[in-house]
Amino acid sequence: MISTFTVFIDANVFFGARLRSLVLFMAQSKMFRARWTERVHDEWTRNVLSKRNVDVEKLEYIKSCMNRSVLNCLVTGYEPLEQSFQLPDPDDRHILAAAIKTRADLILTFNAKDFPEDVVGPLGIEICNPDDFLLDLFGISEELFIGHVKADFEHYKAPKIAFDNYVADLRKAGIPKTADLIEKLRVLIEPA
């Protein structure tokens, strides 16, 4: 199944490593097309550098891996559209402009208040919290969802992560309902 449903991902979704990883594994499911910009990369990496002790070279490597893992993920040429919108935070205009440029159906963000319905609604773009989005993916295909959560969980090899820690990290990342669901699916996700 290859979907044409396009999701533009805001920088705040990429801030936490565990959620970033899960969303990227889900993007491999082909249930949606994931898109972002270099400015999104700049924002999440700048925030990680200011709040966490992470090496710049490691972040550059992660960005490179992200861009290689999702076909046609980087949106360009959106800049002329930026001044067309009034948003509570002018720095978010590039998100909306890039979403329009890539014909996104949805902007995935923790900051729905930054994208008022009266601005984005007429454009046909939905704003969605990552927790709700991931639950929607489970509703679309339980099998694909479980398979990609399992792949995400199992890719933590050096160091290996305990299932309980994986679920706890997802809760801390702001997706408690998805974490609860994954916890209930443990027998299908954690290797025997």
If asked whether residues 122 and 178 sit together in one domain, one would say: no
Please give the pLDDT value at position 53: 80
If asked whether residues 38 and 121 sit together in one domain, one would say: yes
Residue that is last in its domain, among 132, 151, 173: 132
CATH number of the domain that residue 33 is part of? 3.40.50.1010
CA distance 27 to 32: 6
Task: Report yes or no on 46 lying in a domain.
Answer: yes
If asked whether residues 29 and 63 sit together in one domain, one would say: yes
If asked whether residues 37 and 110 sit together in one domain, one would say: yes
If asked whether residues 80 and 109 sit together in one domain, one would say: yes
If asked whether residues 35 and 98 sit together in one domain, one would say: yes
Q: Can you give the pLDDT of all 192 residues of the chain as single tens digits?
A: 567 899 999 999 999 999 999 999 999 988 999 999 999 999 999 999 999 888 889 999 999 999 999 999 999 999 999 999 899 999 999 999 999 999 999 999 999 999 999 999 999 999 999 999 999 999 999 999 999 999 999 999 888 999 999 999 999 999 999 999 999 999 999 987
Instruction: Give strand pairing partners of 71.
Output: none
If asked whether residues 36 and 96 sit together in one domain, one would say: yes
Instruction: Give strand pairing partners of 9.
Output: 108
Please give the pLDDT value at position 1: 54
* Cβ-based neighbour number of residue 97 at 10 Å: 21
Dmax (CA) for the chain in angstroms is 54
E strand segments, the chain: 6-9, 33-35, 106-108, 126-128
* Cβ-based neighbour number of residue 53 at 10 Å: 6
Please give the pLDDT value at position 185: 97
Task: Report yes or no on 44 lying in a domain.
Answer: yes
Flag whether the pTM goes above 0.75.
yes
If asked whether residues 126 and 37 sit together in one domain, one would say: yes
Domain housing 159: 134-189
If asked whether residues 123 and 176 sit together in one domain, one would say: no
